[in-house]
Structure 1
Amino acid sequence: MFDIGFTELLLIGLVALFVLGPERLPGAVRTAGLWIGRAKRSFANIKSEVEREIGADEIRRQLHNERILDLEREMKQSIMPSSPSASSPSPQSATPPPDAANLSATSPAEEAKPAETAPVPRPDRPAEP
């Protein structure tokens, strides 16, 4: 970071020894070490807090984007219901062809309503109970 070599540290130590003297130098080095340690710890705490906030923002952004995509899929499904020829019909969703008896039993209003579909499970999420 500062690119201080051994010779620079040795020069700083000699100047400090001449300025402070041999009696006060150990106390000054100890105090300087304490202050440097406090500064490092505070910078590490700030860094971890910022990283935690960035991670939380990213998770919030991903969840928001997933909700938007889910809403978009629901809107597309409600506007354009899937046709039976597009996907293979399953035994539960297969409906028999209408005949004369079935036509008289259903009203036109019931036929006009789009069929409600169950939400499609996402492969990247576990199934909810």
Structure 2
Amino acid sequence: MITSPSFYRTIHKQDKNKAKKVNRLIRHFIKRHTVKLVVCTAVFFLLFTSFLLMGTYASSNTPEAASAEEQIIRVQSGDTLWNIAKQISDGSHDIRYIVYLIKDRNDLQSTVIKPGQKLIIPSI
């Protein structure tokens, strides 16, 4: 079994040429797609910040003024949302639901209320 050294060199040279060609194609691919990636990231960033700004300007911490059907109460020392909800409950609704309505109507983040605070009680 005689093998020719030239045959081995021929394959090896082709592999080097292929490797160079593949490396060139990979570099070209990365350059081409890097630009796309940068542009997509910039567009995403602009859209995200614009939606964030819209949400910031749209939200407010003060609720709308009370309508004719709603009443305004001033929180006394020792009052809780649960007690207030119990006082205005007519028995047809769950008190937890009434607490939720009061929190939602007054844009409260928690059930903590302070004496002197005004609460709008929605009509049930």
**Shorter-normalised TM-score: what interval?**
0.3 to 0.5
Instruction: Specify which structure has the higher proportion of strand.
Output: 2
Q: Normalising by structure 2, what TM-score?
A: 0.37
Higher relative CO (Cα under 8 Å, sequence separation at least 6) belongs to 2
Q: Normalising by structure 1, what TM-score?
A: 0.36
